[in-house]
Amino acid sequence: MYGRFLYAWPATPDYRPLTNEAAEVEPELQSALTALIRLPSEDVDGVFVPQSVWLSDGAIVKFEEFRQSVDVTKRALDGHERQWFVKGETTVLRLAGTLAYMTWAIGLGASASNSFDGITGSLEPKTIDEQSMAAAIRLWREFFWPHARAALRQIGLSDRHKNARRVLRWLKANRTADISVKDIRREALAQALDAEDTEKLLDGLTKAGWLRRKPLEPTGSAGRKGHRWLVNPILY
């Protein structure tokens, strides 16, 4: 489901002193939303009637260029980033449709008259124009994609990242000074990885500076030596 969200962080508004005056609702925006709400979606019998809204020739050209770019870029991605990125084509289509209808609805007030332009302007759009497609692509590339990458890094780009974060959370909660592969595999990861993959994960955390491998120490009666790792106290 995470791949279907459009992640966004609105800019922090400037400070404004308290006032008893209520902010006025933009009448143009209110009229546009009302026009969109009133668009018919059912026939006289109350049955939903789908409508086909085609892309203009110019919009098709823009969209194909975008699809080619997605096809090239996705090959350099993996994990959650790739899964979110490849949904960009359908997302851009929806955004283009939304922008086209918002432009139409906002323009209704300006073209409201009995003239030919006013009458044709009130008709529901039947195509998505090139300008709406270009705006949708720019919005997706420059706003939603960067925010998605930031959000996805918080949950981990891949299973490897998720396991690393899982281990770090366990270490922080238990405030363990040093650990072994066995500790992490059984306690932190609930045996989700085998011993070899667990050691690779710990080596990765070592390279990142969270752990430091200790010299080999004898373990058990047989005198076998097992690796242990010191935990960076900054984690606590």
Q: What residue ranges do the domains of the chain occupy? A: 2-7+26-155, 159-235
What are the pLDDT digits (tens) for 100-138? Answer: 999 999 988 665 554 444 444 467 888 999 999 999 999
Q: Which of 125, 28, 222, 203 has the alpha carbon at shortest distance from 195?
A: 203
| Mean pLDDT taken over the chain | 86
Tell me the three-class secondary structure of 125-160, residue by residue. CCEECHHHHHHHHHHHHHHHHHHHHHHHHHHCCCHH
* Strands 217-219 and 211-213, sheet pairing: unpaired
Outline where DSSP puts E strands in 88-138.
Answer: 127-128
What are the pLDDT digits (tens) for 193-231? Answer: 899 999 999 999 999 999 999 887 665 555 556 789 999
User: Mean pLDDT, to the nearest integer, of 141-148?
Assistant: 95
More confident residue, 179 or 26: 179
Residue 86 pLDDT: 94
* Strands 224-226 and 217-219, sheet pairing: antiparallel
Residue 151 pLDDT: 87
Q: Which of 55, 31, 54 has the alpha carbon at shortest distance from 109?
A: 31
With cut-offs at 50, 70 and 90, classify the pLDDT of residue 158. low
Outline where DSSP puts E strands in the chain.
Answer: 54-55, 127-128, 178-180, 211-213, 217-219, 224-226, 228-231
Task: Note whether 54 and 128 are within 8 A (CB).
Answer: yes
Residue 221 pLDDT: 54
Task: Note whether 133 and 55 are within 8 A (CB).
Answer: yes
The CATH code of the domain at 159-235 is 1.10.10.10
User: Mean pLDDT, to the nearest integer, of 18-40?
Assistant: 83
Tokens of 182: 């066995």
What are the pLDDT digits (tens) for 34-67? Answer: 999 988 888 888 899 888 999 999 999 999 999 9
Tokens of 47: 């049955």
More confident residue, 143 or 191: 143
Tokens of 193: 């990885």
The region, left, alpha or beta by phi > 0 then psi within -120 to 50, assigned to residue 153 is alpha
Give the chain's end-to-end CA distance (angstroms, integer): 33
Task: Note whether 55 and 128 are within 8 A (CB).
Answer: yes
